[in-house]
Structure 1
């Protein structure tokens, strides 16, 4: 999975892809329109962050490349790649229990905090995307 050279893009299947962990300096793109929402992405080797309509959606430390990011009423699903293991923080429903899957393996049930954030650690190797699926229980 290559990095996203344009920082964020819409895929043919209606999902979005974003992030470039190979950048040495912070880059950002704002006012990217997708399905009536405005997205802003900030990305480089230290962090990748996505906002929708000014609200937090996704963050990884260090930076990552995310493909086919899709949000539904039941959760979120995407593929992520990076050159180092990463801590992902995802915005979901407040105080809700979710089942987390990494490469189709259940890694456990987790509760979001009062602000709806859920954090997941993923082991990453460059050029080897990892699928992440978070489903409401």
Structure 2
């Protein structure tokens, strides 16, 4: 899975892909329209962050590349790649129980905090995308 050279793009299946963990300096792209929403991405080797209509959606430390990012009423699903293990934070429903899957293996249940954020760590190796699925219990 290559990095996203254009920083963010719409895929043919209607999902979005974003992030470039190989950049040495912080790059950002804002006002990217997708399905009536405006997205802003900031990315480089230290962090990747995605916002929708000015609100937090996704963050990874260090930076990552994310493909086929899809949000539903029940959670979120995407593939992530990086050259180091990463801490991922995603925005979901507040104070709700979710099940986290990494490469289709259950990683355990987690509850979002009062702001709806859920954080999980993933082991990453460059060139090997990891599928992350987070579903409401």
TM range (shorter): over 0.9
> 1:24-39 counterparts in 2 under 5 A?
24-39=24-39
> 1:34-113 counterparts in 2 under 5 A?
34-113=34-113
- What TM-score, normalized by structure 2, do the two folds share? 1.00
Equivalents in 2 of 1:120, 1:110: separation in Å?
Answer: 9
Q: Alpha-carbon deviation of 1:7?
A: 0.0
Q: Alpha-carbon deviation of 1:86?
A: 0.0
- What TM-score, normalized by structure 1, do the two folds share? 1.00
Q: Alpha-carbon deviation of 1:41?
A: 0.0
**Secondary structure in structure 2 of the residue aligned to 1:43:** strand
Equivalents in 1 of 2:120, 2:2: separation in Å?
Answer: 22
Q: Alpha-carbon deviation of 1:109?
A: 0.3
Equivalents in 2 of 1:67, 1:120: separation in Å?
Answer: 17
Q: Alpha-carbon deviation of 1:119?
A: 0.1
Which ranges of 4 or more aligned residues in structure 1 deviate by more than 3 Å?
none
Equivalents in 2 of 1:135, 1:104: separation in Å?
Answer: 12
Q: Does 1:132 align with 2:132?
A: yes
